[in-house]
Chains A and B, each alone.
Chain A
């Protein structure tokens, strides 16, 4: 079945960087954009940006510009998200999700499936 499997939980100190992986299986990895979404404890979902695994093109939410980097390795169907200069407010569960869309009277976009999530804890 189509699925995304993420790397395990991380504990980092303020100022450090973290890199989370997202391995796709069950579909052609390069055919769909991968998006990254995070969820701080007790908070709602927050979109971080997207990456096209075929071209490597990326787009970042303004809030994260300059502090996050999306990359991929197409030989192993894996996408990566790196966050630098971590601070305590970055403590959250980070999800990758495949974007699908339909073109019609309007563009219909949705995320499915999602990875299981990676908890990143930033603490001194």
Chain B
């Protein structure tokens, strides 16, 4: 059972905008920043968003992140077939003194 809660699946058609939610608590998202990782099938996680809404160089601006209270969201606009992957949120947890992750959301591009 993951500490952060994400929907297990999401889907959209090419060109659409989709959002993935991530719910936590006051000890993690409520006090600390959120990161998002993309995991293409059979590969390692790759940093997508850090510090709630910062994109590392090389990440398209179609990807954006936001945070409000104890929840965060990842938005993907102009959906493309290569966006089909698992997306996981993460945040530092002050109670556990370490990062916690969501269970991951499998995004399907129809």
On A, residues with C-beta under 8 Å from B are: 35, 37, 43-47, 49-50, 59, 61-62, 95, 97, 102, 106-117
The interface residues of chain B lying within 8 Å CB-to-CB of A113 are 46-47
Chain B proximity of A113: nearest CB distance (Å): 8
Chain B interfacial residues counted at CB < 8 A: 27
Assuming A109-B33, A111-B47, A116-B44, what are 20 further A-B pairs, CB within 8 angstroms?
A: A35-B99, A43-B103, A44-B102, A45-B45, A47-B99, A59-B97, A59-B98, A61-B98, A95-B44, A106-B32, A107-B92, A108-B54, A109-B32, A109-B35, A109-B92, A110-B35, A111-B35, A112-B47, A112-B50, A113-B46
Residue B100 CB within 8 A of the other chain: yes
The interface residues of chain A lying within 8 Å CB-to-CB of B88 are 44-45
Are the C-beta atoms of A95 and B45 separated by less than 8 Å? yes
The interface residues of chain B lying within 8 Å CB-to-CB of A50 are 98
The interface residues of chain A lying within 8 Å CB-to-CB of B46 are 112-114
Q: How far is the CA of A30 from the CA of B88 in the complex (A)?
A: 28
On B, residues with C-beta under 8 Å from A are: 2, 31-33, 35, 37, 43-47, 50-51, 54, 56, 88, 90, 92, 96-104
Q: How far is the CA of A35 from the CA of B90 in the complex (A)?
A: 14
Chain A proximity of B87: nearest CB distance (Å): 11
- Pick the 10 closest A-B CB pairs, nearest first: A44-B103, A110-B50, A112-B47, A45-B101, A108-B51, A114-B44, A44-B2, A110-B35, A108-B33, A47-B99
12 pairs, CB–CB < 8 Å, chain A vs chain B? A44-B88, A44-B101, A46-B101, A47-B101, A49-B98, A109-B32, A109-B33, A111-B45, A111-B90, A114-B44, A115-B44, A117-B44
Count, A-B residue pairs, CB within 8 A: 69
Are the C-beta atoms of B51 and A110 separated by less than 8 Å? yes
The interface residues of chain A lying within 8 Å CB-to-CB of B98 are 47, 49-50, 59, 61
